[in-house]
Every structure is written in structure tokens, then in C-alpha cells.
């Protein structure tokens, strides 16, 4: 079956300029979805939108800062003005912060910045999109969490705790709006080869891949396929749920 049988269908992708966000935006654009490409990097967001349109899809772009409620609202309003009501939102925005740092040595300013973007930013984006979805009685919201939020990664206290917080938020939001027609879910990938991962120390990446029974990184295309389903009408009886994507590392 097709994920998106009832078109037009508009999805806003936060963090569409690179990595998981870019791959997801281009995939769902190829499925006939109209895609709002949002990113702090306006040029990168526009590049993704142009790639979607060059392949025959429909897209727009806008610069967005996830930690600023006014910026989030302005970006989503822009998408709706150009592409119509937003039926789905994918939030891929996130940073790792400093890594390979033991808990006693964690820099508190770095800790705050990671939580501002990964947790507070996710809440801001959710609050910006939920009112219109709730008013229409339909919506799909998907946040990209991490296996580190379920199991913790040594040397990544700020990142791991932020993703644990994001997972907790998704579980609460899913229950809050379970009867509304709006679903809120997350995915928790293991290590994926993205620009964010490429800048990590190699020992950090090895630490993570050694824990994966399949002994490899997750592919961007694999993550995008799961996201596409979770933000489609087909994903109708899952909410407040965290989808595992870890090559067998976590089976819960």
C-alpha cells in the first residue's frame, strides 16, 4: 500500500538541511507529499526544497530556530500559507554537545544548550503545530530521539539525558492527546552516519557500533522509511510510542 493515498498532504520537516531530516524530506517528497523544509541553516533548507522540486515534488523552505517560539510559529505559518494545512511534523533538530566527557566533568553551559535544543526545542515545535492539528482533529508528530535516551551512552551525559527527556515528553504528549486524532511518537535510532555523527571522536562511534548486534550503522534511508510510515495516515493506532531502530541493541 501507499503511505499517502489521500493527497494533498503537507509535512513540515524541522532539520531538513542535512542528515535524517534531509533524507526524510526528499523521500516523502518523492511520495507526493508537499514538504516544508525548515532548518536553522536557510541555505541548506532551500537546497533540500530545490532537490524535491527538481525531482517533480512540491516544497518550500524557511529559516527556523527551534529554541525561539516566535521563529517556530513564523516558520510553520509560512509552510501553511504556501503548501496548506500541516498534517505531519517531523522534528530532527538536535545536537550532541561535548562528548567523551565523564559526568563529573560535564560543562553546565554545554548541558543547558543541549537540553535547550533537544528537549525545550522539541516542546516549542510541538506547541507551535498542535493547535491547528487539534482544531482539525488530525495530525502526526514524530520526534527523533536516540537509543542513548533509553540506555545511556558513556561520555555523553548531556545528550543521553536530553534524549531521555524527549522520550518522556513524547510519552506524555501521546497520552494527553490520545483521543484527539493527533498522534505523537518518536523513533530511537542507534548510531546513524550523519554529519552530526561524523564529527564525533571515532572511539565514541566505535563504542556505539560495538553494542549493535548487526555490527553496523543504521542507514539514513532506513530511518526515513520508518519516519514516513509514522507520519502517514497508516500509523493510526500508535501514540506516545518510541519505535526502536537499533539493529537489535534494544528490543524493548
Q: Are 115 and 122 in contact (CB under 8 A)?
A: no
d(C-alpha 17, C-alpha 123), whole Å: 20
| Catalytic residue annotation | 159
d(C-alpha 241, C-alpha 170), whole Å: 7
d(C-alpha 88, C-alpha 142), whole Å: 8
DSSP the chain: --S--S---EEEEETTTSHHHHHHHHHHHHTT-EEEEEESSHHHHHHHHHHHHHTT-EEEEEE--TT-HHHHHHHHHHHHHHH-SEEEEEE------S-SB-GGG--HHHHHHHHIIIIIHHHHHHHHHHHHHHHHT-EEEEEE--THHHH--TTBHHHHHHHHHHHHHHHHHHHHTTTTTEEEEEEEE--B-SHHHHTS-HHHHHHHHTT-TT-SPBPHHHHHHHHHHHTSTT--S--S-EEEESTTS---
Amino acid at each position: 500500500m501507499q503511505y499517502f493515498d489521500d493527497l494533498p498532504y503537507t509535512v513540515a520537516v524541522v532539520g531538513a538541511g542535512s542528515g535524517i531530516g534531509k533524507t526524510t524530506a526528499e523521500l516523502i517528497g518523492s511520495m507526493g507529499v508537499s514538504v516544508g523544509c525548515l532548518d536553522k541553516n536557510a541555505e541548506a533548507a532551500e537546497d533540500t526544497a530545490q532537490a524535491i522540486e527538481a525531482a517533480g515534488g512540491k516544497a518550500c523552505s524557511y529559516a527556523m530556530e527551534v529554541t525561539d517560539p516566535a521563529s517556530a510559529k513564523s516558520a510553520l505559518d509560512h509552510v501553511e500559507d504556501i503548501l496548506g494545512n500541516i498534517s505531519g511534523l517531523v522534528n530532527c533538530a538536535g545536537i550532541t554537545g561535548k562528548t567523551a566527557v565523564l559526568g563529573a566533568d560535564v560543562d553546565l553551559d554545554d548541558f543547558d544548550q543541549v537540553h535547550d535544543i533537544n528537549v525545550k526545542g522539541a516542546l516549542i515545535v510541538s506547541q507551535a503545530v498542535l493547535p491547528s492539528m487539534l482544531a482539525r482533529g488530525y495530525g502526526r508528530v514524530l520526534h527523533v530521539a536516540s537509543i542513548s535516551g533509553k540506555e545511556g551512552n558513556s561520555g555523553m551525559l548531556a545528550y543521553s539525558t536530553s534524549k531521555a527527556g524527549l522520550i518522556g515528553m513524547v510519552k506524555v504528549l501521546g497520552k494527553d492527546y490520545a483521543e484527539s486524532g493527533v498522534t505523537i511518537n518518536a523513533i530511537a535510532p542507534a548510531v546513524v552516519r550523519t554529519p552530526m555523527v561524523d564529527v564525533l571522536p571515532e572511539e565514541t562511534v566505535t563504542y556505539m557500533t560495538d553494542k549493535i548486534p548487526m555490527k553496523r550503522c543504521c542507514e539514513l534511508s532506513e530511518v526515513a522509511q520508518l519516519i514516513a510510515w509514522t507520519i502517514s495516515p497508516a500509523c493510526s493506532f500508535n501514540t506516545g510510542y518510541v519505535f526502536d531502530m537499533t539493529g537489535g541493541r534494544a528490543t524493548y
